[in-house]
Structure 1
Amino acid sequence: MARTDALIFDMDGTMVDSMPWHAKAWIEFARRRGLALDVPDLMRRTTGRNAFECACELMEREVSVAESDAITHEKESIYRELFGAVFAEVAGFNAFARAAAARGLKIAVGTAGDRHNVAFVMERLRMDPLPLAIVGGDEGFTGKPTPAIFLEAARRIGVAPAHCIVFEDAPFGIEAARRAGMRAVAVCTTHSAAELAGPHVIAAVRDYEELALSNFLETLDAATA
């Protein structure tokens, strides 16, 4: 196994258990606008993609920036209201990230979420130490499955892609890690291990408590000794 210098985490469904609330937000968005919306299909097509890409998928056409901004503001405001009332990390995330940092691993976040959702999550998650870099989906990078967000996260922390491990809960994110030349851990909060499989996927777990019980970080240390 290649030396590991950094862990790059997706945010929604990977750091925080938010994906059901994104789905609920789309349901409420559709109700308010009187839209007939197949939410599971929309989630399948958009999870990991940036806001503009999601708006285009929703409307099934190229939208304007203003239209995308309006859709994003409305839907994400609903999401933050819903999830804020029941906010929860993916079990064991903070403890795992803290233990990884204590072992000298660099921590970064690579998410398709915009700055408002990033601020919402980080304020409530209270990571200590904070990530060394956070790359968001509203910074001009194409969304997953392209590797742009993960490659930028690696660039910002000064680590070669081959020495990074990505943590992801969605097929587009797992594919983005592969295209970036990074290994991946599948966090099976919203998809099965089979749906998140790949030759670069080195573990598939339900949450970080399970990952900690497997001595995952200790295994990385042994691989780099």
Structure 2
Amino acid sequence: MTSSPSRTLAAALFDLDGTLIDSTPAVNRSWIRWGEEWGMTPDFREGMHGRPARDIIAALVPEDRFEAAFNRVAELELADVDDIVVLDGAAELLGSFDDSRRAIVTSCTRPLAAVRIAATGIPAPSVVVTVDDTVRGKPDPDPFLEGARRLGVDPRDCVVFEDAPAGLAAARAAGCFTVAVVGTHQAAELDADIVVASLADIVVTPTEGGFTLQTR
């Protein structure tokens, strides 16, 4: 772990899958079935974690088949919410922020984010930014810029909690402070200001005008 920032931060932006919740079994089942139906080789998703489904599919199928392919994987993912769990420390950390200072920023579609949040019962913030809310998804900065905008804060005063290189790249491009959570990727693969084994390692201390972070 690196040292924590001494300055006050204004808001926290959380990735969803792999950061707050683990939907890996459901995601794998859906995408494996999709890949089999669409004739993909078993390694077709390699290096794609954290990127929007539409970007993955656009790289794999011809443009004239994109809508059918995207709709099918969306159908499969929406139907499978088994084995989705809240990750260690996630609910506690998310709940430690006032609602005006927290948001979820995910590469999921709006319906998929809603289904997965409901399946886990995690305390969802009022602001949830999905891939449907920006033209460009992660690794572009647009999703985190939109999250900061909706909270009414400067993105440079936000901390982003992420588990994927694509999400961390988006956060850095937005000017945010970054905290990486090891799990879907090893620590050596995660370029962040702080790297932790789980969100349980983060301690939030309220201050006038925001909060500071510490690591256990």
Q: TM-score, normalised by structure 2?
A: 0.84
Q: What secondary structure does 2:137 align onto?
A: coil
Q: How does 1:120-199 map to 2 (within 5 A)?
A: 120-128=115-123, 130-197=124-191
Task: Provide, for residues 4-24 of structure 1, a one-character-per-residue CA deviation record: whole Å limited to 9, x for no partner.
Answer: 111101111111102343233
Equivalent residue number for residue 53 of structure 2: 51
Q: Which residue of 2 aligns with 1:202?
A: 193
Report Cα offsets for 1:130-163 as digits up to 9, x if no partner.
3131111122420111100000000000010111
Q: What is residue 217 of structure 1 aligned with on the other side? A: 204
Structure 2 CA distance for aligned equivalents of residues 171 and 222 of structure 1: 24
Q: Which AA in structure 2 matches 1:30?
A: G
| 8 Å CA contact 1:50, 1:142 repeated in 2 | no
Change (3 A) 1:85 1:23: closer
For residue 37 of structure 1, report the CA deviation from its aligned partner.
3.8
C-alpha offsets along residues 109-146 of structure 1, whole Å, 9 cap, x if unaligned?
A: 11111012111122223343x31311111224201111
Match among 83, 89, 109 for residue 114 of structure 1: 109
How many residues align structurally?
Answer: 205
Secondary structure in 1 aligned to 2:159?
A: strand
Greater strand share, structure number: 2
Structure 2 unaligned runs (5+)? none
Distance 1:34 1:159, change over 3 A: same
- Deviation of the 1:217 alpha carbon: 1.1
Deviation digits for residues 42-77 of structure 1 (CA, Å, limit 9, x no counterpart):
241x33333331211122x5x24xx33322232233
More helix by share: 1
CA contact (8 A) 1:111 1:135 kept: yes
**Which deviates further from its counterpart, 48-57 or 7-16?**
48-57
TM superposition outliers: structure 1 runs of 4+ over 4 Å: 219-223
* SS in structure 2 at match of 1:217: strand
Corresponding position of 2:23: 18
